[in-house]
Homo-oligomer: A and B are copies of this chain.
Amino acid sequence: MPTYKAPLRDIRFVMDEMLDFPAHYSQLPNGDEASPEIINAILEEGAKFAEEVLTPLNQSGDTQGCQHNDGEVTTPEGFKEAYQQFVEGGWPSMTQDTTYGGQGLPQSLGMVLNEMICSSNLSWGMYPGLSHGAMDALQHHGTEEQKQTYLTKMVEGSWTGTMCLTEPHCGTDLGLIRTKAEPQADGSFSVSGTKIFISAGEHDMSDNIVHLVLAKLPDAPEGSKGISLFIVPKFTPDANGEPGERNGVQCGSIEHKMGIHGNSTCVMNFDEAKGYIIGEPNKGLSYMFVMMNAARIGVGIQGLGLTEVAYQNSLAYTRDRLQMRSLNGPKAPEKPADPIIVHPDVRRMLLTQKAFAEGGRALIYYTAQLIDQVSAGGEEAKDADDLLGLLTPIVKAFLTEAGFESTNQGLQCFGGHGFIHEWGMEQFVRDARITLLYEGTTGIQALDLLGRKILMNQGESLRKFTKQVHKFCQAEEGNEELAALIAPLAKANKEWGDITMQIGMKAMQNRDEVGAASVDYLMYSGYVTLGYFWAKAAKVAQEALAAGTTEEAFYKGKLATAQFYFSKLFPRTQTLAATIAQGGDSLMAMEEDQFGAGFEI
């Protein structure tokens, strides 16, 4: 069975040494709450909860899966108890508004915790994760009464939430939804329709489930401009605010999936269910985007979490497994064969995971600071929001693609044993596979990045980021030891802007050029972004080593991983730049009847 140890040393490296979280917190209105003692307690207790409570339930949760029986869903053994412990530990309230029972800590701390949860038990983590998204939407757009009724219960953890968007015939294209909301005399709405892929839609872990549902009012405009957002509780609250009457929303079935078996993915049938509108009519999609952006970052964290745990387990295996000799002669002559970590290609697979995990962590934590800054409002909020908008699709798509590659590399380190369930590596791959799909596929993220976040504002957000990279590269120009990192980073950072311009020019003639370039462009952006964080990490490690340290292994390993990243992963930008330059002609030239001509006789 796989194991997990929270990477606290590396987490502290990113927080304290790379991104100066103490200084960051000192700038926030609620920063005082994030005292060193509190941070320490969160890291230590969070690690303990992830390692000791969640990790042991991960494989059994996968094997057992969820059971659906006539509308009721039973989660795997231990899931419910773990959730109770989570609630008792006060975790759901950690970053919530103190007005509604929260502890008011910065969002960033929740994301640190979330990484550990995703590493240890992705399926379990989705129950509180979805709740978190629903709380965000209520916090931002709910009425005071709605907040008092629903949010306080969710903050406390006794009620959980969902996001109900997708329908059988539409996922990406929410303008097509058919779920209807009819106004009632009492000001409520009668909601009817079918939603699919509803994570945590029904389960046995909380007293009530608060569904946030996209639906159309009778007089709504066509398409995405006619969508409203509703609260549809499983039990409508009674006069005391406790779960009252059973509402007309029912789990029809749960999906049989490739992975995340421990999470219930439900078909939810709304049959004249009582609903309450959130905010104004027809603005539901923009409200839902509050949840969706947070959820996208959350999925990026899932990619990171799985990368980390795959790395840890493949590292352990490759140190242990004896097979063949080093090509340069025996490294462990006393043993019947060398541990396979001596082989260069095994190291390539390990270092790929390590580079994505640690680089991804720095990127996520940087994003976390931006989220804190946006929440805080004030002067820096606009810039932070632009950067956050830019980085969100990169975090979501790049770190999940990296996570899928990493979990596969981790599995591959095990040879044939990687394919066997008991070793646990194949579960990481199956669990990772969903992260490229939900909350917008890689392709959708790529369109969001290139189309909406970059071309639509003439590259303004991009320039804010590339300027930062440029300044860093300029400052380190004379840094001989890091020249193999800084030089290619500076070059690609400049090229990033050039490529953007080229696509922009082509797109003025033909908008398909945006779609044709988009995924390669997103991946290019990801490699450069991670390159920036790796170069920064290398500089910090270099300084620590120069200053003298008792942790040579840590800092030297950091430097060596940075060198690896620029030597073996960063050059992927070359192919991406080349395929982007090729444009979209070779994609669009095929006529539809030509696709199947080899087998449709």
Residues of A within 8 A of B (CB): 5-10, 13, 166, 169-173, 176, 197, 255-259, 308, 312, 315, 319, 322-324, 326-328, 336-337, 341, 343-348, 350-351, 354, 357-358, 404, 408, 411-412, 415-416, 418-422, 426, 429-430, 433-434, 436-438, 441-443, 446-447, 510-516, 518-519, 551, 553-554, 556-557, 560-561, 563-564, 567-568, 571-575, 578-579, 582, 584-601
Q: Which of B10, B326, B433, B597 contacts A598 (CB 8 A)?
A: B10
Q: Are B347 and A590 in contact (CB under 8 A)?
A: yes
Q: Tell me, in angstroms, the Cα distance from A150 to B303 when the chains sit together.
A: 52
Q: Tell me, in angstroms, the Cα distance from A596 to B317 when the chains sit together.
A: 12
Given A315-B596, A348-B519, A511-B327, A579 and B567 contact (CB-CB distance below 8 Å): yes
Q: Which residue of B lies closest to A588 (CB)?
A: B344
Q: Which residue of B lies closest to A568 (CB)?
A: B579
Q: Are B587 and A344 in contact (CB under 8 A)?
A: yes
Stoichiometry (number of copies): 2
Q: Which residues of B contact A336 (CB under 8 A)?
A: 176
Question: Chain A at the B interface: mostly helix, strand, loop or mixed?
Answer: helix
Question: Which 3 residue pairs spanning A and B have beta carbons closest together?
Answer: A557-B594, A10-B598, A344-B515
Q: Tell me, in angstroms, the Cα distance from A433 to B421 when the chains sit together.
A: 13
Q: Are A443 and B591 in contact (CB under 8 A)?
A: no
Q: Which of B319, B337, B416, B589 contacts A176 (CB 8 A)?
A: B337
Q: Tell me, in angstroms, the Cα distance from A513 to B551 when the chains sit together.
A: 30
Q: Are B416 and A438 in contact (CB under 8 A)?
A: yes
Q: Are B598 and A586 in contact (CB under 8 A)?
A: no
Q: Which residue of B lies closest to A555 (CB)?
A: B597
Q: Which of B171, B255, B560 contacts A590 (CB 8 A)?
A: B560
Given A258-B419, A436-B412, A341 and B592 contact (CB-CB distance below 8 Å): yes
Given A560-B590, A595-B315, A597-B557, A433 and B426 contact (CB-CB distance below 8 Å): yes
Q: Which residue of B lies closest to A256 (CB)?
A: B421
Q: Are A595 and B171 in contact (CB under 8 A)?
A: no
Q: Are B441 and A419 in contact (CB under 8 A)?
A: no
Q: Are A419 and B590 in contact (CB under 8 A)?
A: no
Q: Are B426 and A323 in contact (CB under 8 A)?
A: no
Given A315-B595, A337-B173, A591-B556, A411 and B438 contact (CB-CB distance below 8 Å): no
Q: Are A594 and B560 in contact (CB under 8 A)?
A: yes
Q: Tell me, in angstroms, the Cα distance from A420 to B315 when the chains sit together.
A: 31
Q: Are B420 and A255 in contact (CB under 8 A)?
A: yes
Q: Are B437 and A418 in contact (CB under 8 A)?
A: yes
Q: Which residue of B lies closest to A425 (CB)?
A: B258
Q: Are B412 and A434 in contact (CB under 8 A)?
A: no
Can you list 12 pairs linking A and B with CB atoms under 8 Å apart? A10-B599, A171-B415, A176-B323, A257-B426, A344-B512, A344-B516, A345-B446, A345-B515, A347-B588, A348-B519, A412-B437, A557-B590
Q: Which residues of B contact A416 (CB under 8 A)?
A: 166, 171, 197, 434, 437-438
Q: Which residues of B contact A422 (CB under 8 A)?
A: 256
Q: Tell me, in angstroms, the Cα distance from A573 to B571 when the chains sit together.
A: 11
Q: Which residues of B contact A590 (CB under 8 A)?
A: 347, 351, 557, 560-561, 564
Q: Are A429 and B258 in contact (CB under 8 A)?
A: yes
Q: Which residue of B lies closest to A554 (CB)?
A: B597
Q: Which of B9, B433, B447, B563 contacts A419 (CB 8 A)?
A: B433
Q: Which residues of B contact A426 (CB under 8 A)?
A: 257-258, 433
